[in-house]
Amino acid sequence: MIKKISFWVRLAGWSGLISGSSVLVLYQYTHNIMFLINLITIILFSAYALATANDKRWTNTDWLLRVILIVLVFVSILPTIFLGIGYFIERKRNQH
C-alpha cells in the first residue's frame, strides 16, 4: 500500500512546484520579499515530498495530518488536496 500513498505524495510535491511558479510570477511583478520567502518554503516542501515519497512515515496518519496542516498554512491549498486524498485512503486502509 505504500505505492498508493507514494503516488499522492509525489503528486503533492509536483503540485507544490506548480503553485511555486505562480508565487515566482508574483515576486517578479512586486519584488516583495514575502513572496520570495514563500517560494523558498514551497520549494523545500516539494523537494522533501518528492525525495521521501517512498518512506514508511507517510503511512502514519497522525504524522500525515500534521503535515497536511503545515502545508495548508505555509505552502498552498493545491498540495493539501492531494495529501488529504492520501490521508483518507490511508485512514480507510488502517481501519480495516
Average pLDDT over residues 3-7: 89
For residues 87 and 2, which has the higher predicted lDDT (pLDDT)? 87
Give how many domains the chain has, as a whole number.
1
Domain range for 75 is 2-95
- pLDDT computed for residue 2 by the predictor: 62
pLDDT digits (tens, 9 = 90+) for 20-76: 999 999 999 999 999 999 999 999 999 999 999 999 999 999 999 999 999 999 999
Amino acid of residue 57: R
- pLDDT computed for residue 12 by the predictor: 96
Q: Which residue has the cell 518528492?
A: 50
d(CA 11, CA 19): 12
d(CA 34, CA 19): 15
